[in-house]
Structure 1
């Protein structure tokens, strides 16, 4: 590492360094709130704590990663890095900083974890290369969605409307006549969101977050402008709600709950919520509106030589393309399992159907924050 740069690997780096780290995260155009220290406080509700790898130069943090770690039964401590590591935009010697962070993550994995999983950010191909050079290998783990769809919000409203599917274009002109309105939500709407998420979870088969978790998320993120909510109503009755997070230049859909009644579906209220959120994000200065991830089954279509069509994607992912966005792919996820014995056992488990189900259960437990029963291994959590 270049002289004058300091690498720190460990737990709580202290208030001043954490503030410097958060400034770096906010400065990265495609960063996600999952790398903010506030997100570590949110995930503490699910049993996680944060460790940090930070590279400093002249007292300022120029690169690093927030690692969320948790002990799982029969496995030990695992760690994951969602949408990281990050390197400060425009920093001199970016490659050297990326190498230093990668070495720091390797050292952290060796000292503290059985397994460390990393999903590099959208523009993090260079940090992914540094991680591979440091000994990380490709991973099948889903610590964060690898692919998503985003809409360019620099277009004016009419251009955004023309980017919608024909059916959605028509809806934008008739929602008001049909009694559909969308308002911005606040903390008093969180019980509504918890209820709508429970209904959506029952219908789609994922594990929803509870009210306590949503309240912590709102408390930690909303005060600094990293969270927004929108509620869709029909004749004044709330039937849909979306929670979004904002960081860097990206406004990202995080959670969507929908009343499963015929009226809410027939009037396409969830689309009205997304459309309103897109317009709000544009006026708030965001560059991109992100739909929060695609299912793993959709990734092969994004990898193909041609832009995918809606029918090429899985399930609800088809719906996301109707808003005029472009699919994108993050660098492949990576992992480091320091112990040869544990690595061998992990590889053998992945090769068997029973082991794959057990690993899927542990993986979903790690993301959702609850230890799931094996019978629920196929249930998905909203990304």
Structure 2
């Protein structure tokens, strides 16, 4: 089934990639009179607490009618029970109109223990290169010209470059004080082997003096280029390698007739401030997210994550206690990390 609502997280390719990190998958396809009208993919794995499941960017319904969505929500619960999944985390597709009432009615609690991304930044690349450049800030365009003047070049990577990209990504993660995700080079290599086979992956590197200093992995799916992971070894910052890398990705997407580039994540407080026309604070203006914003992106609020717990008593306890405690993210993150 092809749908504008479908995203790579609901693909069989993504399920294959997540197998490396210990996730198993089950897929359900819904039909009416032999026509496919929707479905979903559950990733699940065993933990010391039991089986935990995750539906990322699902369920997908075509068309998104209330009765069809409700049928899929009921099917998700039934499949979770049938497969002895104790807790199921769900985040609907980015453009879904699925209402909170439907999920509330079926006991999905508004909670995000996994820290699922609920805000992103989209850059419209569908109106041509001139339009694209005009939406960029003067600073970003100047830095692109500087990078070209200094001799920074962009090249596409191959399977042999996966280890190189993983090192760049780890350097960035270390500087930002976060764990790399995917956690191993093996996981990243599986991504390459799975997605590149279907022309759904593009890796590019910025080089200076024949040395690779930055890179980006793009997952290409539907009409969108997902700027999934980035890496930089923090060498030669004055040469502006990341500006040129980002610029080249946007122009590649534009010339290949995609609609949007998705930066995957964005600061929610900045998005909220922009939505109401509130000036950004000094801290917000120094955020790493401003770099992406200055390339002409527009923040997008995503559907919130919700969790369903099979045991009614535990569900009630979770809703009244744990869902209101900030530290629960750390508690549950210990066995859910790595599913995005």
1:321: which partner in 2? 293
> Is contact 1:310–1:317 with CA below 8 Å preserved after alignment?
no
Instruction: Sort the Cα spacing of 1:61 and 1:307 in 2 relative to 1 into closer, same or farther, 3 A.
Output: farther
Is the 1:349–1:356 Cα contact (8 Å) retained in structure 2?
A: no
In structure 2, the residue corresponding to 1:239 is in which secondary structure? strand
Aligned equivalent of 1:126:
98
The match for 2:200 is 226
1:104 to 75, 79, 85: 75
Distance 1:32 1:167 in 2: 33
**Aligned-pair distance for 1:281?**
1.1
For residues 205-224 of structure 1, what are the structure 2 equivalents within 5 Å? 205-208=177-180, 209-224=183-198
The whole-number CA distance in structure 1 between the counterparts of 2:300 and 2:158 is 31
Residue aligning to 1:330:
302
Query: In structure 1, what is the Cα distance between the partners aligned to 2:285 and 2:251?
Result: 25
Aligned counterpart, 1:188: 160
- 1:65 match: 40
Cα distance in 2 between the residues matched to 1:294 and 1:174: 26
1:41 paired to 2:16: yes
What secondary structure does 1:125 align onto?
coil
Structure 2, unaligned runs of 5 or more: none
Highest RCO, 1 vs 2 (Cα 8 Å, sep ≥ 6) = 2
Gapped regions of structure 1 (runs ≥ 5): 1-23, 370-382
**Structure 2 counterpart of 1:145, from 114, 117, 120:** 117
320, 328, 331: which is aligned to 1:358?
331
In 2, are the aligned partners of 1:118 and 1:143 still within 8 Å (CA)?
no
Q: Distance in 2 between matches of 1:117 and 1:36?
A: 17
Whole-angstrom distance in 1 between the partners of 2:281 and 2:256:
29
Is the partner of 2:219 in helix, strand or coil?
Answer: strand
- C-alpha distance in 1, partners of 2:229/2:110? 28
Shift in alpha-carbon separation, 1:135–1:154, aligned structure 2, 3 A = same
| In structure 2, distance between residues paired with 1:81 and 1:313 | 34
1:69-107 deviation digits (Å, cap 9, x = unpaired): 11122x21111111111123xx4x833321211110122
Stretch deviating more after TM superposition (291-300 or 212-221) = 291-300
Q: SS in structure 1 opposite 2:294?
A: helix
User: Does 2:255 align with 1:280?
Assistant: no
Scaled by the length of structure 1, the TM-score of the pair is 0.80
Question: Hey, what's the Cα distance between the residues in 2 that align with 1:350 and 1:134?
Answer: 17
Distance 2:317 2:25 in 1: 26
Question: 3-state DSSP class of the match of 1:306?
Answer: coil
